Amino acid sequence: MKRILILPVIAMTMLACNKEAQRPTTYSVPALDQAKNLALYMPAFESAIAAKNAEVEAIVNNPEAPTFENTIVALDRTGMMLDSVEGIFFNVLEADGNDEMNAIAEEVYPMLSELSDGIILNDGLFQRIKTVYEQRDTLGLNAEQMRLLTETYKAFANNGANLPQDKKDRLMEINKELSLLSLQFGNNVVAETNACKRFIKDEAQLKGLPESAKAAAAEEAEAAGHKGEWLFTPKRTSFTPVLQYCENRELRKQLLMDYTTRANHGGKYDNKAVIVREMELRIEKAQLFGFNNPADYILEDCMAKNHETVDAFLASVWAPSLEAAKREAAALQELLDQDLPGEKLQPWDWWFYAEKLRKAKYDLDEEAIKPYFELNNVRNGAFGVATKLYGLQFEKVTDMPVYNDEVEVFKVTEKDGALIGFLYTDYFPRAGKRPGAWMNNICSQYIDAEGVDHRPVIINVGNFNKPTAGNPSLLSMDDVETLFHEFGHALHGLLSKAHYKSLSGTNTPRDFVELPSQFMENYAYEPEVLKTYAFHYQTGEVIPEELIAKINAAGKFNQGFVTTELLSASILDMDFHELTTAKGLDVNAFEKASLEKMGMIDEIIVRYRPTFYNHIFTTGYEAGYYSYTWAAVLDADAFAAFKETGNLFDKKTAKRFRHLLEQGGTRDAQELYLEFRGKEADPANLLRRKGFIE
């Protein structure tokens, strides 16, 4: 069967196939090659918003008594056209945006905020939902249907549907302003990152820097009109090699400060005032709902439930992490003393001397490893893990429309050819791409009223080293873990088997959503996995056993630093969102006081300082950055389930974990984990993995 539809939204083509015996499937291929035709967006958004409003009004005005189908399911199925437009626009805005798209976003964010609030605060709609919710025990619903009903009711009740009209009006104003502040914050970070350029004219200043890093910096400089020089920026792929290898201490300091002081210099792109205003509004919003602070308002729908639980959890991991970091700092200070007697170890020294210590202690030089981590091979290694665990097949396709020539597309199927979905990858930095790495849905999975399973289209985005004239893209060990991590998110989206789009894929509590991604990281450096993808890019030689042994011997190295850097950002996030007033808030002073309170050592800088902390001021992880560590307890415990069988790819265990992934948000997260593991997650598995306990 083949069905072709042309939607009036950016000429999106729908291609259909039926390769699954039990249920026909279809997939949506967005016209991403038209994504830079900016004239299409505003008419598309206006039409899609109007369509969504009309669909909602049809539910409200339905003369029939409210039922699960005509109200709850009908609401879940609204907005398909808007989903299509957003799936294109916001993915491209993040990955390949420009000033013109930012200008469109500034128009669109208030429109979408107004639409969302108009629906949530529509009393007629809420009364229908409430009627169905109050009858829930008599409706004979299955577990997924009950979850949809409960989550729909909570989404309305927890976002203002029960508020008096004056508070509803104020809530709409708050949400609209917050949406614009979030956009402004992110744009300021991108602008500061792009504007900061350090050109080096004397190669002697780069002593110790690997030739591959110098070649990349030389190409960047030439592209910027400075041939014969070397360009370094606050992008991680640019400055990280300098921190690790360059003997020029002053240059290390300059580049680390360029990165950690972004949007904190005063002037047009400074984010301190944006943060203060965001916190004022978040506090006011929480208090509209009767909560003292934003943290408790946000956490009510998470596994943790309240800030006391999160604070206690972070404190339990912080203490052993900080002690490990102090021991590591002392060891690095001894190395510094040999080079610069009397000098104190500084944050810009940590990576440099950690690399020296790793090489001395484990005879492990990351530059000697990188030739085995060619990007395409690493990606194929991640694909291979999914094949062994779940039987998935990956086929590169070249006839899909893309928004940039660097984007690649893979068709994902079962062994029998049944369609799973499509995975887009976009791995290289560019001026219009925000920092970091992420997974997004372009098209979500759901089952429509006719029983057709709409298979997902997922994208993984990164900022890995670009190939140079002499070398392919070679990844650091952190980059390898990042690629496996984002691919884990992709699998969560791809394997979804939910009936309802609002429960599919990664639509889970924030402190559960990182489990699938972090679980995949466990496989990256397992010896039997390394042998499937770690081939020297020049000779094709598989990574030697000796090098594998060194990688695994060094697996617990520097974990005090890594964990302390992460946890300090989590605690800082919670401190911001446990505020009950932002009156007189001085962002820099608040950060300093938070770090002093937690006992952070001077030798480490918090992973994300407030003015470039995109996670909590733009991307929806406010009072939620702890979830990476919370999920790490789950992922370490889940991987232990495989280890206990003596087989990393044990079929029975993999089948249970795939079932967990397929459920998305259709069931309670704790219930899903207990079903997979048969018991509560043991935090000791994480502490042992990091080497904090025996």
What is the mean pLDDT of the segment spanning 348-361?
96
- Show me where the domains of the chain are located: 32-162, 196-260, 272-364+560-617, 371-545+651-690
Note the pLDDT of residue 219. 95
Helix (H/G/I), strand (E/B), else coil: 196: coil
Q: Are 580 and 323 in contact (CB under 8 A)?
A: no
Q: Where are the alpha helices (DSSP H) in 122-164?
A: 123-134, 143-157
Contact partners, residue 248, CB within 8 Å, separation at least 6: 205, 206, 207, 208, 242
Q: Where are the alpha helices (DSSP H) in 98-142?
A: 99-120, 123-134
pLDDT at 20 over 90: no
pLDDT at 274 over 70: yes
What is the mean pLDDT of the segment spanning 569-584?
98
Note the pLDDT of residue 372. 98
pTM exceeds 0.75 for this model: yes
CATH of domain 371-545+651-690: 1.10.1370.40
Note the pLDDT of residue 8. 30
Note the pLDDT of residue 14. 29
Q: What is the pLDDT of residues 447-463, one digit of tens each?
A: 999 999 999 999 999 99
Average pLDDT, the chain: 94
Better pLDDT: 577 or 1: 577
Note the pLDDT of residue 301. 87
Note the pLDDT of residue 303. 92
The answer to which of 29-38, 378-387, 546-555, 567-576 has the lowest mean pLDDT is: 29-38
Tally Cβ neighbours within 10 Å of residue 353.
21
CATH of domain 32-162: 1.20.1050.40
What is the mean pLDDT of the segment spanning 186-203?
96
The CA distance from 23 to 15, in Å, is: 16
The CA distance from 493 to 440, in Å, is: 9
pLDDT at 18 over 90: no
Note the pLDDT of residue 43. 97
pLDDT at 153 over 80: yes
Q: Is 486 a catalytic residue?
A: yes
Note the pLDDT of residue 485. 98
The CA distance from 147 to 68, in Å, is: 12
pLDDT at 292 over 50: yes
What is the mean pLDDT of the segment spanning 663-682?
96
Domain 272-364+560-617 matches domain 371-545+651-690 at the CATH topology level: yes
Confidence label for 22 from pLDDT (cuts 50, 70 and 90): low
pLDDT at 3 over 70: no
Answer CATH for 272-364+560-617 from 1.10.1370.10, 3.30.1490.150, 3.40.50.1820, 1.10.10.10: 1.10.1370.10
Q: What is the pLDDT of residues 463-521, one digit of tens each?
A: 999 998 889 999 999 999 999 999 999 999 999 999 999 999 999 999 999 999 999 99
What is the mean pLDDT of the segment spanning 151-159?
95
Catalytic pick among 192, 229, 328, 486: 486
Q: Which of 378, 332, 347, 429 is nearest to 601 (CA)?
A: 347
Q: What percent of the chain has pLDDT over 90?
A: 93
Note the pLDDT of residue 16. 31
Give all strands of the β-sheet with 408-413 in edge-to-edge order: 393-397, 408-413, 419-426, 457-461, 438-443
Note the pLDDT of residue 5. 27
